[in-house]
Amino acid sequence: SAAVRAAISRGNSLEALEKALSEPPYGRGMEAAQSANAQLVSEILMATRAQDIGSVVGDLSDDDQDVLLKYIYHGLAHPAEFNCGVLLSWHERVVESGGLGSVVRVMADRRTV
Amino acid sequence: MSILDEHNFPFCVTAHAFNRDKTQVAVCPNSNEVHIYTRSGAVWTAAHVLREHDLLVTSIDWAPQTNRIVTCSQDKNAYVWTFDAAGAAWKPTLVHLRLQRAATQARWSPQENKFAVASGDKCVAVCYFGEDNDWWVSKHLKRPIASTVLCVAWHPNNVLLACGGTDMKARVLSAYIKGVDEKPAATAWGERLPFNTLCGEFESPAGGWVHSIAFSPDGDSVAFVTHDSSLTVASPATGSVVSVRSNGLPFVTLVWPDTRTIVAAGHDCAPVVFTADGTSWRAAKRLGEDEMLRRSAAASPSNSNSAFNMFRQMDSRSQPAKSGSGDGSLKSVHQNTISEMHLDPAGNTAEVTTIGLDGKLVQWSLRA
């Protein structure tokens, strides 16, 4: 996560996201790691400028887009801890790119984050 | 990719099967009956009603060569119907399935001497005709199926069976029945396979129920669609399992007409044609949408009430007028989920048929 924060401070959201989204902590008993990682991803999402969201989403791989959407839904489920306005604007872009299929995959996948 | 024929039934169609030359079709109108329609010219007329099941009929399959129909239902029974030409009626024969739960899908084997019934009893019943008792008996494929089986598909060699279900795995098992089958030649799936041997087990990356499964025409690969909106193709010969994500809602049915084409359809209401792209597959086209555009373009110039309709719709639905199909209909031919898709029973690889919950029965041509 040090590398991720370095990338955020440099303004390189794409690189930060790719690092944060790789190897998500799936599994039972991983709640602490999952919420820590979700906070990290949320930091990256809030640090990105609104006009850059589209290009960052477009440059992510399909797998990364699906994992990002899982984190977005994780955040939307805990509105007290996350900035839902930012999450919703990211959600719009990811669904534009991945379609309803990516939302279905978040719902269907047993590996939650 | 044109529409060869389109018919509107006044009910949701949940299962269908054509006879060999597509002059008759058996449909289930979402009830415990099966209706058989015959074609006279361009019109389908109701001919017979098969009433024997007590609960919803879940699947119908019509054997093209022997002209027998197998139906299975949530009432844990299956019947084999033969046409009695003298009485001009279909006569049912009970199948001894021995299931404790509903039957979900029934399919004749390629040689039509066996059929497989998938069920909620965590097993697939492989049925063959027992001459000594003069009725259909079943052997159950149980291990290692962990939950309801939703779909079955036969390998061209009449012995291997693919099944998928709610335990999110697609499996290939051997359904070799001594006495009915001859020993099959070795295939990519293995050789010398006694009944209930597991030849392959696959799943898609994000999981999800396996809604439909099919072998390739040569039998060397198996493709299945799952509820995570993806199509997965597995080939044991190369060891590759390729998954293609879809941007739309999940598919519920698929067919594999020729080696380079797979067609899948489902909750997105339009069949999608996938073509082989190297080792992977990609979605090539959606059927029927240009046809609908042609129809709405043809309709609108002569539609003098369009302004009236637009304001009436704004009033009744409190929606601003939309460009395109302002009457709320979908861009695709089917207006609701496509529930089942079949290949042409006579073997024509360029034609598929679909039925939907909107009551439509559509015959498609895959050639432009």
Residues in chain B within 8 Å Cβ distance of A102:
229, 245, 247
Give rounded-to-5 percent helix, strand, coil for chain B. Answer: 5, 50, 45
Task: Give the closest-approach CA distance of B285 to chain A in angstroms.
Answer: 16
Strand ranges for B109-229 from DSSP E: 114-119, 124-130, 135-141, 149-154, 160-165, 170-174, 198-202, 210-215, 222-226
Residue range B35-59, pLDDT digits in tens: 999 998 888 999 999 999 999 999 9
Inspect the interface and report whether the beta carbons of B245 and A62 lie closer than 8 Å.
Answer: yes
Q: Are B25 and B18 in contact (CB under 8 A)?
A: yes
B339-363 pLDDT, tens digit each: 999 999 998 889 999 999 999 999 9
pLDDT digits (tens, 9 = 90+) for B251-309: 999 999 999 999 999 999 999 999 998 888 999 888 887 777 777 776 655 455 667 76
Q: CA B274 to CA B291: how far, in whole Å? A: 19
pLDDT class of B313 with cuts at 50, 70, 90: low
State the pLDDT confidence band at B143, using cuts at 50, 70 and 90.
confident
Q: What is the mean pLDDT of residues B2-26?
A: 91
Least CB–CB distance from B247: residue in A99, A108, A110: A99
Share of chain A above pLDDT 90, in %: 32
Q: What is the ipTM of this complex?
A: 0.87
pLDDT at B325 over 60: no
Task: Name the average pLDDT for chain B.
Answer: 89
Of the candidates B207, B245, B249, which has its C-beta nearest A109's C-beta?
B207
pLDDT at B151 over 90: yes
DSSP 8-state class, residue B1: -
Q: Which of A10-24, A53-67, A82-96 has the least mean pLDDT? A: A10-24
Does B331 or A73 have the greater pLDDT score? A73
Instruction: For residue B323, name the pLDDT band (cuts at 50, 70, 90).
Output: very low
Asked whether the beta carbons of residue B248 and residue A109 sit closer than 8 angstroms, the reply is: no
Q: With an 8 Å Cβ cutoff, is A105 touching chain B? A: yes
Q: Model pTM?
A: 0.89
Give the model confidence (pLDDT) of B185-241 as tens digits: 888 898 878 999 999 999 998 889 999 999 999 999 999 999 999 999 999 988 889
When pLDDT is cut at 50, 70 and 90, the band that residue B324 belongs to is very low
List chain B residues with CB under 8 Å of A104: 227-229, 249-250
Q: How confident is the model at residue B101 (pLDDT cuts 50, 70, 90)?
A: very high
Can you state the percent helix, strand and coil of chain A, rounding each to 5? 75, 0, 25
Which chain B positions have a beta carbon within 8 Å of A62's beta carbon? 245
Residue from B167, B229, B286 to probe the interface with A (highest A Cβ count within 10 Å): B229
* Structure token digits, residue B319: 């929606």
